[in-house]
Amino acid sequence: MTSLRTAFTGYYGMRNFGDDLFGVLCARAARAYWHAVPRVVGPPLAAAPARSTVPRRYPANWYGGTGLVGKASRWLSFARGLHDCDVLVMGGGSVITARESFRKPMMLSAVERGVQLAAVGVSIGPFESARDEDSVAGFLQRFRYLSVRDERSHRLAKKMGLDAITHAGCDLAALLPPVGSSMDDDEPEKAAGAPVRIGVAPCRYPEHGEYAAPLRRRWEEHLIATLAGLRRFRDVIVDVFSLNEHPRHGDRALAQRLVERLRSEGVPAEWHAYASQDPLRTVGALAACDVVVSARLHGAIVAYLQDVPFMIIDYHPKCRDFADDIGLHASLRVTAADTDNPFSDALPALLAGERRPGVSRTAYARRAADIFQCAPWAQA
């Protein structure tokens, strides 16, 4: 029997850790649960057992560029992915929106040629109008399978009349235990008196959009003050991650500035850039931390799955949705309503092993295999 040819599309190859992680996990899960031959629409991803639609030697900055070359590169890559696949899968992220894209008409045209459409680990919306919502609902009616990652999206899919194809799943990062890195508890014990390692992942998010987001400078200064105070009692090392290295939308400048501010307060800090389309290496670096403070959603999700205590900067509905899904303590969500320092009490509590999420990482990860096993193409 011919193996199922699957192509996974998302924001892969745009130098963003979370999106590249989706591509790697989708490729691995398609082999494990669908016995499929996967293809990644975009540049090659380290540790992804899949062909890619972009040559290995093609410059990553060309593919991810904002000009004509970047747009042409992505169009050609997507066309190649559609050309020889049985199933096109939107793999992970906030990709089901009303935003116009060249991909939508190409996908609908491919359906007429017999290609099946699916989406896994995605969020739906939010939408600015009922018209936008209706337009997306009509698009999703052409799909064969839809696995959403949060309860809000599940309710919206049901409202759209998509019950028959919709699966209430979770974020694709939950596939890390079964098909990616492990959640082993046999890591060597930390030496007594070793420095506390704090991971911080800033994000260049809009501060004055429809969703009330905390001011970056405010929470950063509160965090710096807390870390400087903590350092008076024990050794502290801070790893500052730029999990998105896109030249326009990325976090490099924010991360480097934060490193400088920490050092100016006497707190040792190092900058860690995400690079080389190798998300599993970054998973390992986050797992090495004792606590993670992340504005990037997948910095927080990976910390959770690696059993690292964490706080999340709640700047977007997807952050709130994830925090709600796992029962994250309210004090571990940094919101626009926080005027006092939210870290002064929460960080010491996390270091003491307190304030665990209501849903254990094991229980959350247990839902991951169903994302693929509930699909029509799943094989025993």
**CATH code, domain with 210:** 3.40.50.2000
Domain membership flag for residue 187: no
- C-alpha 26/C-alpha 120 separation (Å) is 9
Same domain, 82 and 102: yes
Same domain, 352 and 217: yes
Number of domains observed in the structure of the chain: 2
Domain membership flag for residue 288: yes
Same domain, 34 and 143: yes
Same domain, 48 and 168: yes
φ and ψ of 214, to 5 deg = -70, 145
Same domain, 369 and 354: no
Q: Tens of pLDDT along 152-184?
A: 999 999 999 999 999 999 999 999 988 885 444
Same domain, 9 and 134: yes
User: Strands of 166-168's sheet, edge to edge?
Assistant: 51-52, 37-40, 5-9, 87-96, 116-124, 145-148, 166-168
Provide the pLDDT for residue 181: 59
Same domain, 48 and 95: yes
Provide the pLDDT for residue 194: 81
β-sheet bridge partners, residue 274: none
Boundaries of domain holding 201: 196-359
Domain membership flag for residue 285: yes
SS3 13: coil
Q: Could you tell me the pLDDT band of residue 342, with boundaries at 50, 70 and 90?
A: very high
Same domain, 254 and 330: yes
Provide the pLDDT for residue 191: 63
- Percent of the residues in the chain that have a pLDDT greater than 90, as a whole number: 79
Same domain, 39 and 171: yes
DSSP 300-354: HHHHHHTT--EEEE--SHHHHHHHHHHT--GGGEE-TT--S-SHHHHHHHHHTT-
Provide the pLDDT for residue 41: 96
- C-alpha 74/C-alpha 103 separation (Å) is 10
Same domain, 208 and 257: yes
Same domain, 124 and 232: no
Same domain, 275 and 339: yes
The answer to whether 350 and 197 are in contact (CB under 8 A) is: no
What is the overall mean pLDDT for the chain?
92
The answer to whether 36 and 24 are in contact (CB under 8 A) is: no
Say which residue, 78 or 190, is predicted with more confidence: 78
